[in-house]
Amino acid sequence: MIKKKKKFNSERLTFRRYQHGDGAEFHNAIESNPQHLALAVEGAKQGFGLDLTTGEGCELFVRTLIAGWEARQRLIFPFWSKESCQFVGELWIECKDWEQGIHEIGYFVVQSETGKGIATEAARAGVRFIFEHLNAHKVALTCDEDNLPSYRVAEAAGFVREWHIRDAVQR
């Protein structure tokens, strides 16, 4: 059961669920980071049939994420820098098995904030949220085998490599 927690903080970040109207902020992040977020944009296009190169497409995507939250499919937390109040990334939590308490976590950070420990801080805060509010037994984090920075974030956040899955995503 998801407790009513819809907002939380870490040392430098504020996390909250998406709200109607947040598509403009999301669109700005996409526009400002075209190469850095290209895989996320392509995934949204393939998975949801939405064009994230437009403000309207981003708002529809945000509303899809809000509906996913309500359906308990995926909990998405955009996050902002406490210092600058700027959008700096997104944390998502996907339940793999509610009964067994198995969840998966993922994230992205805008390019200007990479290399500052933001992704590690977000991953740690997300894991803490999952164990404290979702009655988790296990949390998984997967990343592309070529994405060494994300692999380092996973290690720094305390994840241990349990297995290597090859060709799980068709390209």
Residue 72 is given by DSSP the state T
Question: What pLDDT score was predicted for residue 149?
Answer: 82
Is pLDDT at 6 greater than 80 in this prediction?
A: no
Is pLDDT at 7 greater than 80 in this prediction?
A: yes
For helices 55-70 and 38-48, angle between their N-to-C axes, nearest 10 degrees? 70
User: Tokens 């164990």 label which residue?
Assistant: 131
How far is the first Cα of the chain from the last one, in angstroms, to the nearest whole number?
A: 35
Q: What percent of the chain has pLDDT over 70?
A: 87
